[in-house]
Amino acid sequence: MEIRPANKADLARLIAMSEEAGPAARWSAQQWLDIFETQIPARLAWIAEESIAGGKASAAGFLVAQNGGAEWELENIAVLPEFRRRGVGRGLLSALVAQARCLGAERILLEVRDSNQTAIRFYGSEGFQLLGRRRGYYRNPDEDALILVHQL
């Protein structure tokens, strides 16, 4: 698996992956475009690729984070179903932590649906801890968000 910074040439692949990964990861084309064109807010995006037959690379997942100086925010992470439980998410998250440390961040925050126990366990295994709760943060269905933090 290779994890590399995403660029504007990856836009179609990122949009397709976000649609395939499920509703939690879905962003509009404009939201994706803003990452590469406006940089408001400043963001970093990574794409994970796995080699497939014929030496081609298949997109397996992505991660987007806001670079907020001392405090970063993991905004979006998704792994395609056929690549789950193969270390792709862990690799993407490790890339984020390494980059944030390198740029002097003190902590990384994220929000996750209260019902998403798989993600909560995953983040916990990577050093994230519960910081708080945002009541009624999510819609369709209405649900609280847990705020998790990883101190660097």
- Residue 127: which region, alpha, beta or left (left: phi > 0; alpha: psi -120 to 50)? left
Residue linked to tokens 């949009």: 15
* Active-site position among 111, 126, 138, 143: 111
Cβ atoms of 70 and 105 closer than 8 Å: yes
112: amino acid identity, one letter? V
* Active-site position among 123, 126, 137, 138: 123
Q: Is 123 a catalytic residue?
A: yes
Cβ atoms of 94 and 135 closer than 8 Å: no
Nearest to 45 by CA among 82, 18, 85: 18
Q: Is 137 a catalytic residue?
A: no
Quick check: bond before 23 cis, omega within 30? no
Active site members? 111, 123
